[in-house]
Amino acid sequence: MGRNTRKRRSPLAVRAVAASAALAVAGGGLVWANFYASAGESSDQNNIKAAGAQVATIDCPDVGQQLTDVPDKARAGVDKELALLDQQVTEAYKRLADTRQAQAGDAGFVQNSIIGPLKSKRTATIDRININIKRAGGQETQGLDQLAGCEGVPAEADTAAGEGQGQNQGQDGGQNQGDDQNQGDGQDQGQDQGQDGGQDQGQNQGQAGNGPVAADFQDITQVQPNGGPQGVNGNGLPANGDGGSTGTFTTNCGTNENENRNSDNVIVAPGVSNGAQHQHDYVGNQDNDAFASDEQLAAADTTCQNQGDKSSYFWPVLRVQDGQDDIDANAPGGGQDGNVGTILQPAEAQLKFVGNKASDVVAMPQALRIITGDAKSLSNGLGNANTNWSCTGFEDRQLTDKYPICPEGSSVVRTSNFQSCWDGQNIDSANHRTHVDFVNADGSCDNGFQAIPQLQVRLVYDVDAPQIENGQVVNPFAVDSFPAELHKPITDHNDFINFFDENTMNQVVDCINSGQDCQ
C-alpha cells in the first residue's frame, strides 16, 4: 500500500535561521512572507485596510463543516473536492508570499490577482460538490455558493488571532486556560507577548515564516491550577468519574518507533495524496494512508501489544524549528506546506479508554471514525476545538491557546479526551462530526446518543524549552498545520479509527462496565 513516509536517519543539513524566516515552496524555492491570520473581519473592512497595508494572510470559509447531509454514494467525490479547496488556498498563500514586490506597487493586486481568481476556482469546485450530491439523490446545501469568497487580512489585524483568542476562551469556556488576564505574574508576560504579536508577525517569526510567534507561548509556572485537562468550551471533558462505569482499558501501541508518517488523512480526504497538508504520526494500524480501505485496515499489522487492537491512532507531528532539515523538507506535507524542522518522536504515548460517570458504555462499531479537535480552529473558531497543553509535574495547569514553556526537567504534554457519545447508527458523518458528540459534565449524552468508551490520549515530549528574546521566539516547537493556521496551539487535533476485533471490543466494554483496570 504504502505511501507512508518513514523518517530515515541521515545527517541533517543545518540551515542558518534568518531574522526573517522563509516559506519553502514547490521546487525548493524560498519566498519571504508572514502568514498571520485573523478570522471575523468583513470583506469590506479587509479590502479597505489592504489598500494601505500588506495583506498577511487569506481567510476562507470552511465548506466541509456545512455539509451535514451528503449521500453515501457522493462521499468520495465530495471529499476529493473538499481536499481540492484546501489545495487552492495553499496555492493562493504561496502566490501571496511570492508577489510582495508587485503588491507594494499596486494596492489592488491581492484582490485582483489572488483573491478574485481564488473565488472563481472555489466557485467551480463548490458547484461540483453540489453536482455530486444531486447526482446521488441528495439535496443541495443552501447557501453553499456564498462560501466561495475569501478575505485578505492585513498584518495589523492579527492582534485578534493572538490576544483575542485567549480572551474569548476565558469568557466562553470559563476555564481561563491561556487567558493571560488571570495568570497572576503571567499577566504582564501575556500582555507583553500579545503586544509584541504585531512586532513578531512583522518580522516573520517561525522558521517557515508562518508561525509560531512569541505570543503563542506561556511559562507554565505562571499559570494558576485549573483542574486538569478540560478541553475548550466543554469539548473534551473527561467522561469518567466515581460513578457509572468506572473501569479502564489501556492499549500499548508504542510511540511510533517505526517512524510511520504521512500527510494523508483517510477520514477527511480518502483517495487524496497529501490531503492533510501536514504530517501525522501513526501508531497501531500500519497500513493507514489515504488509499486504505476498511478491509485493508482490518487485515493490517498493528504495533499494539494486544493484537486484537488494529485501530489507527494518529495525530499531527510535533516539530522543533531548529533550522535543520528533516526528510520531508522539500516534500508535500513538509516544507512545501510550511512545516519545517526536526520531527519529535513522543517519549510516551498513552492510549486509555475510560467509562462514563452516569451509565454503562456500549461497544463501538468497527470502523467508527472520530476526529477530536479542529485543525482549522484559527479560521473556523472554537466550536470544535479541543486542546490541552501542559508539562509533566504541572498537569493540574492546562493551556488551550498557548504552548507551554516547561521548566528544566519537565516535559511537554498534549492531552486529548475524545467524544464519547455515539448516535448508535453511523460510523462516520458527512462533516465527520455529527455522528458523535462530547459528553456533558454530568456524564449524560444529548439527542438520544449512547455512551461509548472514551479514548484519552496523552503524549509526552522531551524537548528543550524555547527562549523568548526581545519579543522573538528562538527554537520554538509547534504542531504541524495547514499553512493558513500558522502553527497555532489551538489547532491541535487527534484522530481514531476503531479496528478492535469483536471479541476484544467486548472485553473492553466488560472491563470498563465492571470497574476493572485492564490492558
Local structure of 361: helix, strand or coil: coil
Local structure of 246: helix, strand or coil: coil
Local structure of 346: helix, strand or coil: coil
Residue 512 is predicted with a pLDDT of: 98
The position carrying cell 527562549 is 467
pLDDT of 315 over the 70 cut: yes
Which cell is 251 given? 492499549
Residue 53 is predicted with a pLDDT of: 57
**Buried/exposed 341-372: b ≥16 CB within 10 Å, e otherwise:** bbbbbbeebbbbbbbbbbbebebbebebbbbb
What is the mean predicted confidence (pLDDT) over 266-271? 93
- H/E element holding 159? helix 159-159
Nearest to 508 by CA among 494, 499, 493, 519: 519
Question: pLDDT tens-digit profile of 470-507?
Answer: 989 999 999 999 987 889 999 999 999 999 999 999 99
Q: To 10 degrees, what angle do helices 116-135 and 75-98 make?
A: 180
Instruction: For residue 465, give the amino acid letter.
Output: A
Residue 206 is predicted with a pLDDT of: 78
What is the mean predicted confidence (pLDDT) over 14-42? 31
Average pLDDT over the chain reads 82
Kindly report the three-state secondary structure assignment for every residue of 6-34.
ECCCCCCCECCCCCCCEEECHHHCEEECC
Instruction: For residue 384, give the amino acid letter.
Output: N
Percent of the chain residues past pLDDT 70, beyond the cut: 80
What is the mean predicted confidence (pLDDT) over 144-171? 59
pLDDT of 184 over the 50 cut: no
Question: pLDDT tens-digit profile of 48-81?
Answer: 343 345 776 788 888 988 888 889 899 889 989 9
Q: In what order do the strands lie in the sheet with 450-451?
A: 436-437, 421-422, 450-451
Question: pLDDT tens-digit profile of 349-407?
Answer: 999 999 999 999 999 999 999 999 999 998 888 999 999 999 999 999 999 999 999 99
DSSP string, 331-356: STTTGGGT--SEEEPPSEEEEEEE--
Which cell is 371 given? 476526529
Banded model confidence at residue 9, pLDDT cuts 50, 70, 90: very low
Residue 107 is predicted with a pLDDT of: 85
Which cell is 444 given? 449524560
Residue 245 is predicted with a pLDDT of: 98
Question: pLDDT tens-digit profile of 185-241?
Answer: 333 333 333 333 333 333 346 787 788 999 999 999 999 999 999 999 999 999 999
The position carrying cell 453553499 is 144
